[in-house]
Amino acid sequence: MRAQPNYSSPNTSSTRLLYRNGAIMVIMCGLLWSTAGIGVRYIDSATGWHIVFFRSVGLVITILMVMAWRSKGDLITPLKRTNKLSILAGLFMGASFFGNIFALLHTSVANVTFLLSSAPFIAALLGWIILGERVKKRTWAAIALTSVGVSVMVGNALSGDGIIGMGFALMMAVCYAAFTVIMRRGKSGDMLPAALIAGIFSMLVASYAIDDFAISWADLAICLALGFFQMGLAMVLFIAGSKHVPAAELTLLTMLEVILSPIWVWFLFNEHPGYWTLIGGSIIMLGVLIQAIGASRSQPKPQIA
């Protein structure tokens, strides 16, 4: 008698659940990243370098707390387990932080946003070459939609000015994509130290650009809060989700940050983002939804019992 297909294999069901939960965590990471503009708007007098430095302090404290909680107070053991991949990932992520700052100093926000949208393509290419991760057709369609959405959002403001800044923006996209691929490569180990290294790297570099570290207590509180929520918890979620979500999809799902950032500022500070931004953001949201819904509905292939 011919065996009936088994659609409820424990292994495939477990893999699908892990993948879906990972995607949710990465989406939540993009949500937290999108709150950066809120914090910056509340900053009174601290400079960009102050924000980078003290936000990194908050990030480092958060990661150390999470590591201590996971190891029941023992920080030495997880720090000793820091491997070369964690160090490399941390350096790439730290470099992306500064690529963002220098890009914004030398070119327009529109140019930076547009070039950042290349990260999913770069991650897809690196993931295929280095990890052998094939990109699904649904994911390519979602990436294409988000790229169109970004083009609509910033198309009118794009310019050829600030070649140096655009170089830094492209560097940021490459570093972020490389970070995601390295996280996938090291998914079997503990990659949380990578976030710690990124924070320390950012602190060290920013410290060279700051003459006076004195800022107001209010600005300090905001910077530390950004480090805790907007960077720290976001990185914990991203690292956890990266264990189960391919590199191209990681960068794609965090593109939610691009549309939500101006939306929060619009709601809280009445800064209208413009109709093209809303239209482009809706297209980006559609692309992210296609990927997210596809992740939740993906069915395992039938196996013969």
Residue 71 half-sphere exposure toward CB, CA atoms < 13 A: 17
What is d(CA 192, CA 210) in angstroms, rounded to the nearest whole number? 28
pLDDT tens digits along 163-208: 787 788 888 889 988 999 998 888 877 888 889 999 999 899 889 8
Q: Could you give the 3-state DSSP secondary structure of residue 9? A: coil
For the full predicted model, state whether its pTM sits above 0.75.
yes
Q: Which residues pair with 304 in a beta bridge?
A: 5
pLDDT tens digits along 239-280: 998 888 888 788 888 887 777 777 787 787 777 767 777 787
Residues 6+ apart with CB under 8 A from 2: none
* Residue ranges covered by each domain of the chain: 23-295
pLDDT tens digits along 17-45: 888 888 889 889 988 988 887 888 888 88
For 213-236, what is the mean pLDDT? 92
What is the separation of C-alpha 176 from the centre of its chain, rounded to a whole number of angstroms? 7
